[in-house]
Amino acid sequence: MIPVIGLLVGIAAGLFLDPSVPVALQPYLPIAVVAALDAVFGALRAYLDGIFDDKVFVISFVSNVVIAALIVYLGDQLGVGGQLSTGVIVVLGIRIFSNVAAIRRHIFHA
Amino acid sequence: MPERKVRGQVIVALLLAVLGFAVAVQVRAQDREGIYPGARRSELVQLLDSLDAANLRADRQIAELEATKRELQTSTNATQTAQQEAREEATTLAILAGTVAATGPGVAIEIQDQKGSISAATMLNAVEELRDAGAEAIEVNDTARIVAQTYFADGDGSITIDGAPVRPPYLIEAIGSPQTLSVAVSFPGGLADEVEALGGSVFVAEADAIDITALSQQRAPEYAQPAP
C-alpha cells in the first residue's frame, strides 16, 4: 500500500511542481524512466511469485537507471546516441512485455 | 509487521515516487517542447530543408506581389495624371467654348453710339483687335459671349450677335493682360479712332477682376465628325 501511495505522490509532485528538465539530463531522462519501469515490472512479477526482496528491487532499480543512462551517454560520445537509445528501449521493452506476460498469467491464470 | 518489512516498503515507495515524478516531468516537458527535441538529425535536416523551400517560395511570392503592387501603383498614378490632364483640358476648353463663367484681370470697353452708326463690322473689328491682343474670354453687354462660332450681323439700330439683338451703349468685357488689351483698343488708327470717326466715343477701363458671366449655347456638331 505504501509503494502505491509513493507512486501517486511522485506523479502529483511532478505535475504540480512542473520543473523544467535540465538540458544535460534531457537525453537520459526518457531512457531512465523506461529502465525504471522495467525494474518496477520485474519487482511486481517477483512479488506475485512470492520472491520479492526490497534490497534486490532497490539495486535493480538503481542499476537499471544508471546503466541505461551510461549506455546512452556512451552512445552520445561515440556519435551513435540515437541508435543506442533505440536499442536500449527495444531491449527494455521486450523485458517489460515478458514481465507483464508473467504477471498476466498470475492474475488471470491465462 | 516487522520493522524491516516496513522500511523496505518505504524505500520501494520512495523509488516509485522518484519514478512517478520523472514520468510526470518528462511527459510535461514533451508536451511543452513539441516534436523538435525528440526528432532525429535526419528528420531535423529534412524539416529544415522543407522550411528553407517554403521560405524560398514565400520570398518569391513576396517579390511577385511587390512587383504587382508597383505595377498597380504606377498605373494608378498614370490614371490620376491622365485624369488631372483631362480635367485641366476640359476647363480650358470650357472657357474657350464659353460654357462656363470666367474671371480674371482684363479691360472693360464702353462704346457710346448715339447715332447708331456702329455696325457689325466695327464690332467684329473690335473683337478681332482684342483677340489679337490675347483676350481669352470676351462678352458684350453681359449677354453675349464671344466664342469661335459667334457671328455678327447688322440689325435695326443695333447689332445682332448670335441672333440676339444687342443695343448701344456697348460694354465689351475681355479677360487678358489689361495693358496689352487697352493699348490694342487705343492705338492710333485703332478701334477708338474708328469709333470716333463714326461719331461715337470709347472709354477703356483696366480692371484686376473682370467677371464674364454670359454663357454661349453649346451646339453639338451636326455634320463635322472627328477625322480618323
DSSP string for chain B: --HHHHHHHHHHHHHHHHHHHHHHHHHHHHHHHTTTTT--HHHHHHHHHHHHHHHHHHHHHHHHHHHHHHHHHHHHHHHHHHHHHHHHHHHHHHHHHT-S-EEEEEEEEEEE-TT----HHHHHHHHHHHHHTT--EEEETTTEEE-TT--EEE-SSSEEETTEEE-SSEEEEEES-HHHHHHHHHSTTSHHHHHHHTT-EEEEEEEEEEEE---PPP---SS-----
Over residues B70-95, the mean pLDDT reads 92
Interface confidence, given as ipTM, is 0.84
Q: Do A6 and B13 touch (CB under 8 A)?
A: yes
As for how many domains chain B has, the answer is: 1
Residue A37 covered by a domain: yes
Q: Do B16 and A30 touch (CB under 8 A)?
A: no
Residue A6 covered by a domain: no
**B chain contacts of residue A3, beta-carbon cutoff 8 Å:** 9, 12-13, 16
B41 touches chain A (CB under 8 A): yes
The domain containing residue B208 runs over which residues? 102-212
Q: pLDDT, tens digit, for every residue of A42-72?
A: 988 998 888 888 888 889 999 999 999 898 8
β-sheet bridge partners, residue B12: none
Q: Output Rg (C-alpha) for chain B, integer angstroms.
A: 46
C-alpha cell at A110: 491465462
Taking the CA atoms of B75, B78, B80 and B82 in sequence, report the sign of the dihedral they define.
Answer: negative
Q: Do A21 and B26 touch (CB under 8 A)?
A: yes
Residue B32, pLDDT > 80, answer no
Residue A90 covered by a domain: yes
Residue A62 covered by a domain: yes
As for how many domains chain A has, the answer is: 1
Q: How confident is the model at residue B93, as a pLDDT?
A: 87
Q: Which of B23, B153, B70, B169 is nearest to A65 (CA)?
A: B23
Q: How confident is the model at residue B38, as a pLDDT?
A: 63
Judge contact between B93 and B218, C-beta under 8 A.
Answer: no
Q: How far apart are CA A29 and CA A85, in angstroms?
A: 11
Per-residue pLDDT band for B75 (boundaries 50, 70, 90) equals very high
Residue B14 covered by a domain: no
CATH number for the domain including B175?
A: 3.30.70.1880
Residue A44 covered by a domain: yes
Q: pLDDT, tens digit, for every residue of A11-40?
A: 888 888 878 777 778 778 888 899 999 999
Q: pLDDT, tens digit, for every residue of A70-95?
A: 988 888 888 887 888 888 899 999 99
Q: Do B17 and A13 touch (CB under 8 A)?
A: yes
